[in-house]
Amino acid sequence: MADIRAVPDDLRPPARPARRHLLSIGDLDRDDVDRLLATAQSFAKALEREVKKLPTLRGRTIVNLFYEASTRTSSSFELAAKRLSADTMSIKSSGSSVEKGESLKDTALTLSAYDPDVIVIRHPQIGAPQLVTRYTDAHVVNAGDGKHQHPTQALLDLYTIQEELGRIDGLHVAIVGDVLHSRVARSNVQALLLMGASVTLVGPPSLIPRGIEALGCEVTYDIDAIGAADVVYVLRMQKERMEAGSAYVPSLREYTAQWGVTPERLRPGQKVMHPGPMNRGVEIDARVADSVDSLIERQVRSGLVVRMAVLYDLLTHGPVAVPTQVQEVA
Ligand code: NCD
C-alpha cells in the first residue's frame, strides 16, 4: 500500500489552517474572503430552486445566543442554519436565565452540554465571543460584540458590492456617520481594505475615533466628500451606545442638517448602503433609502447566503480536502 508520506507535496490537499472561529475580520485573509463569497454565490443559485433546503449540515446543531436586540442578524443566522438542514436553538437574553443573573461563562457551559457545533453570539461587551471560545468545543461566530466587530455584516456587505458592482478591488467607499460607536464600521473598514477598496470615513469630529487613519483609511469632516465615492455606506446613529448626558452632536436635527444623506448630496448612480435598522429622516433621507440606487434590501438578502457560507465553511473545512461543489437535495 502506498505510504501517505511518499505523496509529493504538490499533490497533497492545499495546506490551509482550519479557522476554528469567526470573531473578527482580522481572522480572515483575502483567499478566505474570496472562498466565502464564492460559496455564498453557490448557495444563492441553489436557493433559486423550488425546494430550498440543502442536506449539507444535517445532524449538526447551531445555537444562536443573542444578548442584544436583533432582527436581521438573528433571523438570517436561524434561516441559514435551517436552509442547510441543521438543528437550531435560538436563545435571547430576555426570557432566559441571563435575566436571573447567569454569567456568560455559565450560559456557555450550559449550552455546551448539548454539544453544539456552532455558537453564534451577539453581546454588548467587547470580547464576549472570545470568552465563549474558552468554555466550548463549538466553533464560535461573532454576531456583534459591543462597538468592536461584526464580521458577518462586513462579509455580506462585500458580497452585495461584488454582486452589484462586479468588483470590490479599486472601488471607493465612503462610510458616513457614527463611526465611533459602530462595530459595522470597524469590520467594514478592515474588510474593504483587505479586498483592495479605498475607504473614506465621513462625519463630525466627535463621532470619528482619533487615529483611525492608522487602519489605512482616510478621514474627512466634509460631507460633500461623499460625492466622490462609488458607494456611500450610511451608519445608524447609535443612540443606545452614547452615554447619557454626553453631547456627541448638538441635536439629532442638527446632525441631520449637517450630515444626513439626502438626494441633494448624492450623484445619480451612486450606490447607497445601510446595515439597518435605519433611522429614516435622521442619518438617511427616506428618498435615498427607497431609491433605485439603494442596496439596503439587497444587503438583507445577501445576509442569508453569506451566513450559510460562514456556517458551511466552519463546519466543512479542515486540514483535509475541501468539497468545492455545494451538495443539493437529491
Ligand atoms: C448593526 C448592528 O447591530 O451592529 N445592525 C445589524 O447587525 N444589521 C448596525 C446597527 O445596529 O446600527
Tell me the pLDDT of the chain averaged across its residues.
Answer: 89
- For residue 133, pLDDT over 50 is answered with yes
Same domain, 183 and 144: no
Residues with CB under 6 A from ligand 1: 72-73, 144, 150, 153, 183-184, 236, 238, 275-276
Report field, pTM of the whole predicted structure over 0.85: yes
pLDDT in tens, 108-119: 999 999 999 999
Q: How far is CA 32 from CA 36, 54, 224, 315, in A?
A: 6, 23, 35, 14
Of 73, 107, 136, 160, the active-site residue reads: 73
State how far Cα 87 lies from the chain centre: 22
Tell me how many domains the chain contains: 2
98 band by pLDDT with thresholds 50, 70 and 90: confident
| CATH number of the structural domain spanning residue 106 | 3.40.50.1370
Nearest-atom number in ligand 1 for the CA of 275 is: 8
pLDDT in tens, 232-267: 999 999 877 776 656 788 888 999 999 999 999 999
Residue 219: CB atoms within 10 Å: 18
Is 254 part of any domain? yes
Q: Name the percent of the chain lying above pLDDT 90.
A: 81
Nearest-atom number in ligand 1 for the CA of 238 is: 12
Tell me, yes or no, if 92 is annotated catalytic: no
Is 69 part of any domain? yes
Of 20, 53, 60, 72, the active-site residue reads: 72
Residue carrying C-alpha cell 470573531: 23
Is 324 part of any domain? no
Same domain, 17 and 110: yes
Same domain, 35 and 115: yes
Of 148, 150, 183, 317, the active-site residue reads: 150
Q: Name the percent of the chain lying above pLDDT 70.
A: 88
Same domain, 120 and 239: no
Tell me, yes or no, if 150 is annotated catalytic: yes
